[in-house]
A and B are shown apart, each in its own frame.
Chain A
């Protein structure tokens, strides 16, 4: 174990040069689909177009506000850019049964998975929900944002368009 610690201390010295913003890939984690079967996050795919990954929970008001706001424009976003939103619920077994009812009642057209024991949340280093990641067409994580305030969805979409145009994104 000492080796691992040493390994990390060495890595920490230049962590910024190889941090996620420079093109980290998605970790491989098993997630639950709404039909109870499992899928691996490594299978996330949008035919070379960008993917938005949004961490949320049924008890998280700002998360649902964000997903509601995007839902109003999602059809247009998809038509214009082909972007796909994958919503990852971090609800544990207390409320994971409510994910499917929330999604259907809200009429969201997203791809939804349940991260019941928060393994994906931990692997993606998410502190709190909502946390949104933007993945480019090659599967690199190019941007992320914590929390939601009104109008953030417009900035997110600006960034989606920048990714498609191959431009650099700033926070």
Chain B
């Protein structure tokens, strides 16, 4: 493989409240680079195509195996983890932008704490008595049920689904697909199910399930192919049943 110039257009922003601007770079590299390795090469010699030396580009990365979720950004208009975006498979110039919908910290670095807040809102945890051994595990889970749950447990909070969702953003209180899918996961667990009602009430409130516009963008961009819309559909049925229970339940 020979080295050749790889053309990049990067949307930069110095501070959360400053105006974004574009810069262009041509980096000598091999086609087996991914976007993270390319940005690493760029920071060693951050010079634009017009020869101007600029600040190294700020972005987030950690595992580089598409399992930590840190490095998601908009690449040629598509939200995706940048460590698994191979240069050979991308049209040039490659456009890099921060993940939309989340506040920009600097350049390609964004603040995704709304995902965390959403996980708190839907109570995406199982209540356990304490982190000591109770000398008993959890109830058995059959292999097919395990397989369905495992799909959701691989969500790494990268935020791609949220970035692609037309309903989620600074303009709305919508929780977004990632936290909703975790509510589905916790409701399916044999003991997590004990708090199902609480979770369903959380997603029946403002910014909950009914704000989903069914655009299906989330499921198309999820790098882990998590069936987010299936989760939302399942939760829809669960909330309907819950609504009836709430109306006719024990007083």
Q: Do A and B come from one complex?
A: no
